[in-house]
């Protein structure tokens, strides 16, 4: 397989993509999560498809059709209903302004990444694009993480923690972020973002299968709303199809 060459003018764009989609997105989440309750965090994160829809309309001139808005709203209400129906009244966690701001920045940065860089992602192969994305992200995070990496006592870390860390790096980071561009090449940014609504549904299904949760009519209703909204948006017409 011949080596794919990246145009010089695109390196800056890829760098900007790594800043928005990785550095700002991940750092704002990690900084904000200790300052916000799980319920508030989930609700703010669920705004991402709405941000993406409007950003794609501005950046890519994608039409905001009534069908697309309806699908986003239905899925949004479904995920909010799921969050509210499953929230526990216990605990002492509190939400402060800093946590809210960080989670809004988190959602906005990833939405900007999805909405702005689709043409760039479509231009190169997924592995070429992600090679540079991960390289830029690695270089930018080293100043913040080098001390912890060097001083951490890796040899005394339990095997279970090593395996959990490996899962986070390989599956939750590398595999996940490598698969996203595959989707971005085929489907529109709003729909890519809406698949984040599937995460809590899949988590509940897995929890039920392994006996950690129970199936209720509220969860079934929320799942139907989420899947229904995604299907509606997936069948909404793109700019090309309308033309």
Contact in structure between 200 and 42 (CB atoms under 8 Å): yes
Burial class (CB in 10 A: 0-12, 13-18, 19+), 78: buried
Backbone angles phi, psi at 144, to 5 degrees: -90, -25
pTM of the model: 0.77
SS3 (DSSP) at 46: coil
What are the structural domain ranges in the chain? Answer: 8-242
Give, for all 243 residues of the chain, the pLDDT tens digit.
567 889 999 999 999 999 998 899 988 988 988 888 776 777 778 888 888 888 888 888 888 888 888 988 998 898 888 777 765 444 445 678 888 899 899 999 999 998 899 889 889 998 899 999 999 999 998 888 888 888 888 888 899 999 998 998 898 888 888 888 888 888 888 888 888 777 777 777 887 788 877 778 888 888 888 888 888 887 776 544 444
Q: How far apart are CA 206 and CA 19, in angstroms?
A: 33
Q: How far apart are CA 143 and CA 149, in angstroms?
A: 11
The encoded tokens of residue 101 equal: 């701001």
């Amino acid at each position: 397989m011949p080596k794919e060459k990246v145009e010089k003018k695109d390196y800056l764009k890829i760098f900007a993509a790594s800043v928005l989609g990785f550095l700002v997105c991940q750092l704002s989440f990690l900084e904000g999560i200790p300052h916000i309750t799980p319920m508030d965090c989930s609700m703010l994160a669920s705004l991402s498809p709405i941000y993406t829809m409007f950003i794609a309309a501005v950046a890519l001139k994608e039409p905001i059709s009534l069908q697309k808005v309806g699908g986003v709203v239905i899925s949004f209400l479904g995920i909010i209903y799921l969050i509210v129906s499953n929230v526990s009244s216990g605990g002492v966690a509190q939400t402060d302004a800093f946590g809210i701001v960080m989670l809004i920045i988190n959602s906005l940065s990833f939405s900007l990444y999805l909405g702005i860089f689709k043409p760039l992602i479509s231009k190169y192969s997924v592995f070429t694009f992600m090679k540079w994305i991960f390289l830029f992200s690695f270089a930018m995070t080293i100043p913040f993480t080098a001390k912890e990496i060097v001083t951490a006592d890796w040899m005394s870390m339990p095997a279970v923690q090593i395996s959990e860390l490996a899962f986070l790096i390989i599956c939750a980071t590398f595999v996940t972020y490598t698969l996203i561009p595959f989707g971005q090449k085929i489907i529109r940014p709003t729909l890519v973002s809406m698949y984040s609504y599937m995460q809590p549904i899949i988590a509940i299904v897995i929890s039920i299968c392994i006996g950690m949760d129970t199936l209720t009519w509220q969860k079934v209703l929320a799942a139907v709303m989420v899947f229904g909204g995604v299907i509606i948006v997936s069948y909404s017409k793109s700019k090309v199809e309308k033309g």
